[in-house]
Amino acid sequence: MHSSTKQHNFSAGPAILPPSVLKEASQGVRNLNNSGLSILEISHRSPEFDSIAKEAEALVREIAGVDDSYAVLFLSGGASSQFFMAPMNLLGENETAAYLDTGVWSTKAIKEAKNFGNIEVLASSKDRNYVYIPKRFKKPKDAVYLHMTSNNTIYGTQFQKFPDVEAPLICDMSSDIFSRPIEANKFGMIYSGAQKNIGPAGVTLVIVKKDWLGRTDRNLPSMLNYMTHVEKGSMFNTPPAFPIYVLMLTLRWIKQKGGLAAIEKMNKSKARLLYKEIDNNPCFHGPVDKKDRSLMNVCFLPTKKEFTAPFLEMCKNVGISGVKGHRSVGGFRASIYNAMPRRSVQALVNVMQEFGKKYG
């Protein structure tokens, strides 16, 4: 395939961005709003950047339905930094936090949290290599919060609804944020790396209840204290300016598409198309429990190991990129985030049908 042709990009992340966003962002790199300056070289204290940051925050609040009782922060360090920042800020060393273990990222969050307090793992789906979402668990009465990962990128599972528990929920939404409506007020804190659905790598969105901050007496480094970033409006140090700009453009695109209800409808339509083919094709099967299937990361396996290489080759020949499964699961994974057009999903389904005719 000629390298200048745009690929069907099923990468798990950094992931696909809307073409209109890429076009405007590249213009901003050359000349931001006809200012004669690049977004890469303007001061983060300038009126130009201030208006970008303010619009990004306003769009987060509007799209997610986040009121003034929450702070909206744009931080560095990826969601992985939030694995320790959340317990460091919110969990006293003699307190208990509850965690749900649904895959690699929740396991990493649990490991980090153990440095700051007592951690109780309420439920885990490790027994079946994380192909389902555990649903039966009792929250310990003394838990400060319940931490969960809404969508499991590697395994292709997703919480279809959030648990009703008395403790505030902390949710890592890195791979499905703004892919569907969320009841923001159910959460004490939501965090997400941007690079799946809302922008490029380099900025992490944190939405946190203001009255929940400063609750431990731990002596925190300034950069790792949420209060620092709330008080300085995410401008304590130079923020990731370009990623925030692209995030703002992506949120504009989501709003223009009709917001989260419209986005969810598109995502469900794409997922249905692909899962239907997986279930009907003799060459593939889906390992995930059907009721827990992700709308974002569609994982499927070949019915024979020797199908893997020829299928990936067939995909490559028609410009389909990024469908090789994660090394811990194998097989295939199609990440169909917000910006993935339905025609790309159809292109993948066409290859699967062709493969089924040839090998099935």
Q: What is the pLDDT of residues 271-289, one digit of tens each?
A: 999 999 999 999 999 999 9
Distance in angstroms (rounded) separating the CA atoms of residues 9 and 352:
16
Question: Which CATH number is 231's domain given?
Answer: 3.40.640.10
List pLDDT tens digits, range 179-195: 999 999 999 999 999 99
Domain presence at residue 8: no
Please name which of 161, 174, 170 lies closest in space to residue 70, comparing C-alpha atoms. Answer: 170
317: containing domain: 259-359
Structure-block tokens of residue 331:
């097989």
Last residue of a domain, one of 256, 290, 308: 256
Please name which of 297, 295, 305 lies closest in space to residue 331, comparing C-alpha atoms. Answer: 305
Distance in angstroms (rounded) separating the CA atoms of residues 319 and 9:
8
Q: Can you tell me whether residue 118 is helix, strand or coil?
A: strand
Catalytic residues: 105, 172, 196
Same domain, 239 and 353: no
Same domain, 50 and 145: yes
Last residue of a domain, one of 236, 256, 276: 256
Domain presence at residue 125: yes
Mean pLDDT confidence for 86-92: 97
Same domain, 186 and 263: no
Same domain, 53 and 199: yes
Indicate the pLDDT class of residue 165, thresholds 50, 70 and 90: confident
Same domain, 225 and 244: yes
Same domain, 238 and 274: no
Looking at residue 141, what is its pLDDT?
A: 78
List pLDDT tens digits, range 285-311: 999 999 999 999 999 999 999 999 999
- At 195, give phi and psi (nearest 5°): -80, 20
Domain presence at residue 153: yes
**Average per-residue pLDDT for the chain:** 96
Indicate the pLDDT class of residue 117, thresholds 50, 70 and 90: very high
Same domain, 167 and 68: yes
- At 182, give phi and psi (nearest 5°): -130, 140
CA–CA–CA angle 253, 191, 243 (5° rounding): 45
Domain presence at residue 144: yes
Indicate the pLDDT class of residue 138, thresholds 50, 70 and 90: confident
Same domain, 98 and 61: yes
Looking at residue 1, what is its pLDDT?
A: 41
Domain presence at residue 6: no
Note whether 333 and 12 are within 8 A (CB). yes
Looking at residue 3, what is its pLDDT?
A: 47
Domain presence at residue 211: yes
Same domain, 96 and 118: yes
Structure-block tokens of residue 248:
């703002």
Mean pLDDT confidence for 120-126: 96
- At 202, give phi and psi (nearest 5°): 125, -20
Same domain, 182 and 56: yes
Last residue of a domain, one of 232, 256, 280: 256
Domain presence at residue 5: no
Cα separations in angstroms, 338 against 1, 151, 231: 25, 14, 32
Cα separations in angstroms, 156 against 153, 290, 301, 346: 6, 11, 12, 19
Q: Can you tell me whether residue 8 is helix, strand or coil?
A: strand
Indicate the pLDDT class of residue 2, thresholds 50, 70 and 90: very low
Structure-block tokens of residue 297:
């990361």
Q: Is the pLDDT of residue 237 over 90?
A: yes
Q: Is the pLDDT of residue 131 over 70?
A: yes
Indicate the pLDDT class of residue 5, thresholds 50, 70 and 90: low
Q: Is the pLDDT of residue 4 over 60?
A: no
Same domain, 222 and 108: yes
Which helix (DSSP H) or strand (DSSP E) does residue 310 occupy? helix 308-317
Domain presence at residue 16: no
Same domain, 204 and 324: no
**Domains in the chain, number:** 2
Question: Which CATH number is 308's domain given?
Answer: 3.90.1150.10
Overall pTM > 0.85: yes
